[in-house]
Amino acid sequence: MANSNALEHLLKTEAQASALVNDAQAEADRRILDNEEKNRADYEERYKNEFDKRKKLLDNEKVKINELYQKELDNYKDEISRIVVNNEKFSVLMNNLIDR
């Protein structure tokens, strides 16, 4: 009977140990999942912030470039508009070139 009690005690102890291991594994899995979700949320937030920051920088650079382009285009148009075209001299030059 002592052997039977000892064997029953060992089986109960093994069952308790197995239950503890299963509980510990379930807790570890839960913690890992929680940590993954937290890390994923943190990553997505940081990614979104960095994306927004860089998009804003890009948009600002586009505005600066467009302003510079428009300024240079306006200056070029202004320079061209100030050029005086002497049609009479141009006609004379063309006629001289063609007659040669």
* Tens-place pLDDT, residues 17-42: 999 999 999 999 999 999 999 999 99
How is residue 73 written in tokens?
């285009």
Tell me the two tokens of residue 6: 């000892």
The amino acid present at 54, given as its one-letter code, is R
User: Which token pair is 32?
Assistant: 């890992």
Over residues 39-88, the pLDDT tens digits come to: 999 999 999 999 999 999 999 999 999 999 999 999 999 999 999 888 99
Number of separate domains in the chain: 1
**CA–CA separation, 41 vs 31, rounded Å?**
15
Q: Which domain holds residue 26?
A: 2-99
Residue listed under structure tokens 């060992």: 10
